[in-house]
Amino acid sequence: MKFVTLEKSDPLFHRHLMGHLSDGEVPIPVESLHVNSNDEKVTFQILDKDKIIRPSIWIVILKVMRIDLIAFTLFPPIAVFSVALAHGQPTSQLGFVLLSLFFLHGAVFCRNDFADHLNGVDRVNEKGGSRVIQNGWLRATSVQKLYRVLIFLAVFFAGPVLMRLPQLLWLAAIGGGLGVLGYTFLRRGLGWLAGDLSVFIALGPLLTLGANIVASKPISTVTALFLGSGFGLGVVIYLEIRHLISQVVDDTAGFRTLPVWLGFDRAKTAVASMFVLMGLMLVASFLTLSLFWGVIAGSLYIVLMAGMALRTKEISSPLSSVLPTLLKEATLMHIFYGIIFMAYSFF
Amino acid sequence: MNLKVYAPDDFPSYLPKLNALYDDLFSHGKGFRAKLIQKISDHLEVSSQAVHLMAQTIEFIHNASLLHDDLIDRSPLRREKTAAWLKYTPEYAVLAGDYLLARVMVNLSRHGNLLLIQYTAEIISDLLEGEWIQDSLIEDWDVSLTQLDRVHDLKTASLFKWCIRAPFIAANDNRPELHRCLDEMGSLLGLLFQRSDDLLDFDIRNYEGKAILGDLQSGYMNSFATFLARDMTEQQKAKFRDCKTKHEVYQVFGEEKFFAKLEQFDEHNKKVIHLFDHHCDQLSAMLKESERGLVADLKQLPGVLYWRKV
């Protein structure tokens, strides 16, 4: 077993971090000290490329694109488009939008994985990111290249829609900017709050409003705002549960997150409140549509979310194994939220 | 130097019950950490008075944690004798643990090395954080190895880190890069010691014949239990939780598979040992010629701590 320890000032440091050693060898960071500072020191294990057990390349690509979280990006437009389809509105460009968002989702997560590998967040937090770089399945440079390909595909498929509706460029620019800021640059200091807020806006109201414009407004702007806020809350809930899981690491490493700022118990209360608030957003969306059965369905959804909130409150520590389960369930709740709304299109 | 870290006159004569409790507590300890301090200090320019102080400090902290641990876990035995909280009441056990920690601070502040006082306070704080988090994992049957490692780094490794860093602080060698390396090494040693200790609970390399399956029966999934449970079905997990003997453990998924998993666990930990060796080589480059003998001594530690070679 071969290990190399390098300091940031070492000329080989960046090459090792990028995974560029030789064709037959892959350096994997196993210990990182003083990350993101001039004193940073990383120990790499040098592995033979042939000895790394890796799933098929397609699975690895889907993993780094975080396909497991694709619902966060695609469900808001799908929910709006389904209403448009049911109302017989023009749908020719909806496919392009979904394809563009699919690749954009992958690109953002590739960028996120790459940036968090370089700045050390995912090297310190053993549960952070897709782990594709840290497992030696893809070199950091390959993830960077994949990001470029995916962003090209996202722009390519967005082209026809943007030509027809140039005003979407503003929304896309705001959303893209918020996404990049939220995920990459705002992790320290008070910036975490802006980061969480930007994720909420970009993957919530902004995405839903954009989809509503593309689909020729099958729902009112107010409905889209309520619906989108629920979707946004769903993503923030997911994010905060992840922050609860990594609270010990984040606190020790000096990363600022909601749980580090509020403390474990109050952060749990915040997440529990967000569960209930997400349910209220669904009810509010149906109220704006004056749909009685929708309000009933939304109320049942609130009961479900209240159950999730109670479970959140019962968790005893950031290391509890209930948290990873809750994380999966929060993803399902986000999907369920979209499905209940989509049922609207059948009435 | 004969290390006698505890002498009856270390504590006030007007507290006979406290002295009796400490007599019981210290009489059967191996003093491994104190010996480690001495071994490291032998290669450095540290006065015998300072070595004694450090050895006493680490043993006091360790024993204070045992007094509190036994009460928290409701363990009836410590070193094959009735645990202090049962013999002397829980209140006395808590007070005796607190008193040891207070003595540590009194002794260190008399010595006057501020960095050593600060570092000692930090590791006591880590130790307590680890204890606190560990308690929240009782009855958590799906805890992951990474999560447990975090607890063990705070709880077990903090003392090992102190053992290998404190002699350098006492020798006034406070180079940051040296202490970063020592800190990592302490962390790895703590991990190896804890994992080996967890194996004892499954009667693996249990040369001293310690009682087994205590962790599982108290509702605590230790590192090897967590490693075993990775491939278990829900049904197997339910059976596993109720195991009272090692044969019942074997029956959960077959003796052959049990030992195959043990081999995998050992392989997993060999990587930690290789990493420790790598840090030893790094440390060697930072030491003076006269101090380099220390590296050979340190390289033997994984054998003692993980493989339990005497």
What confidence tens digit (pLDDT) does each residue in A309-333 have?
Answer: 999 999 988 988 899 999 999 999 9
Q: Would A310 be classed as within a structural domain?
A: yes
- Domain of A43 in residue numbering reads as 2-51
Query: Is the CB of residue B298 less than 8 Å from the CB of residue B280?
Result: yes
Indicate whether A245 and A306 sit together in one domain: yes
Does A3 contact chain B (CB < 8 Å)? yes
Whole-number pLDDT of residue A61: 95
Share of chain A above pLDDT 70, in %: 93
Rg of chain A, C-alpha, whole Å = 21
Does residue A182 share a domain with residue A252?
A: no
> Does residue A248 sit at the B interface (CB-CB below 8 Å)?
yes
- ipTM exceeding the 0.85 mark: no
Judged against a pLDDT cut of 80, whether residue A239 lies above it is answered with yes
**Co-location of A155 and A112 in the same domain:** yes
Residues A43 and A68 both lie in one domain:
no
Last residue of a domain, one of A195, A219, A243: A219
Q: Are residues A195 and A214 in the same domain?
A: yes
CA distance A296 to A305: 14
Residue A346 lies in a domain: no
- Nearest CB among A5, A33, A319 relative to B136 is that of A319
Q: What is the pLDDT of residue B279?
A: 95
Interface test with B, best of A246, A317, A322, A328 (most B CBs within 10 A): A317
Distances in Å between the Cα of A186 and the Cα atoms of A191, A209, A233 are 5, 25, 19
Contact with chain B for residue A317, Cβ under 8 A: yes
Mean of per-residue pLDDT scores for chain A? 87
Q: Angle at Cα A342 formed by Cα A339 and Cα A345, nearest 5°?
A: 155
pLDDT tens for each residue of B273-300 = 999 999 999 999 999 999 999 999 999 9
pLDDT at A346 over 70: no
Chain B contact present for A34, CB below 8 A:
yes
Contact of A135 with chain B, judged by CB distance below 8 Å, is answered with no
The pLDDT of A134-146, averaged and rounded, is 93
Same domain, A15 and A126: no
Last residue of a domain, one of A34, A51, A68: A51
Tell me, yes or no, whether A297 and A175 share the same domain. no
Q: What is the pLDDT of residue A336?
A: 93
Task: Tell whether A217 is within 8 A of chain B (Cβ).
Answer: no
Q: What is the mean pLDDT of residues B243-267?
A: 91
pLDDT band at A189 (very low <50, low <70, confident <90, very high): low
Q: Which residue of B has its CA nearest to A1?
A: B274
- pLDDT given at position A282: 94
In a domain, A344, yes or no: no
The pLDDT of residue A88: 79
pLDDT at B94: 96
A183 has pLDDT over 80: no
A74 with A167, same domain: the answer is: yes
- Residue in the block written with tokens 């440390």: B283
Nearest residue to B114 via CA among B172, B56, B162, B163: B172
Beta strands in chain B (DSSP E): 77-78, 81-82
Residue A22 DSSP one-character state: B
Q: Would A345 be classed as within a structural domain?
A: no
The verdict on residue A343 lying in a domain is no
Q: Which of residues A170 and B277 earns the better pLDDT score?
A: B277
- Residue from the list A5, A127, A318 with its beta carbon closest to the beta carbon of B146: A127
Together in a domain, A181 and A224: no
A89-98, A128-137, A182-191: which is most confident: A128-137
Note whether B278 contacts A43, CB cutoff 8 Å: yes
Query: DSSP letters along B3-45, please?
Result: -----GGGS-TT-HHHHHHHHHHHHT---HHHHHHHHHHTTS-
Count of the separate structural domains present in chain A: 3
Assess whether pLDDT exceeds 90 at residue B210.
no
DSSP single-letter state for residue A185: I
pLDDT of res. A279: 95
CATH number at residue A102: 1.10.357
Of the given ranges (A163-177, B67-81, B110-124), which has the lowest mean pLDDT?
Answer: A163-177
Pairing of strands A2-7, A41-48: antiparallel
> What percentage of chain A exceeds 90 in pLDDT?
51
The reply to whether A199 falls in a domain is yes
In B65-184, the DSSP E strands lie at 77-78, 81-82
Mark whether A329 and A313 lie in a shared domain: yes
The distance between the two most distant Cα atoms of chain B, rounded to a whole number of Å, is: 59
A30 and B CB contact within 8 Å: yes
Last residue of a domain, one of A219, A235, A258: A219
Is there a single domain that holds both residue A179 and residue A278? no
To which H or E segment does residue A2 belong?
A: strand A2-7
Same-domain pairing of A207 and A327: no
For chain B, give me the number of helices (H) and strands (E)? 16, 2
Question: Inter-chain contact A319–B184, Cβ cutoff 8 Å?
Answer: no
Predicted local distance difference test score (pLDDT) of residue A347: 64
Decide: B27 and B7 in contact? Cβ < 8 Å. no
pLDDT of B218 above 60: yes
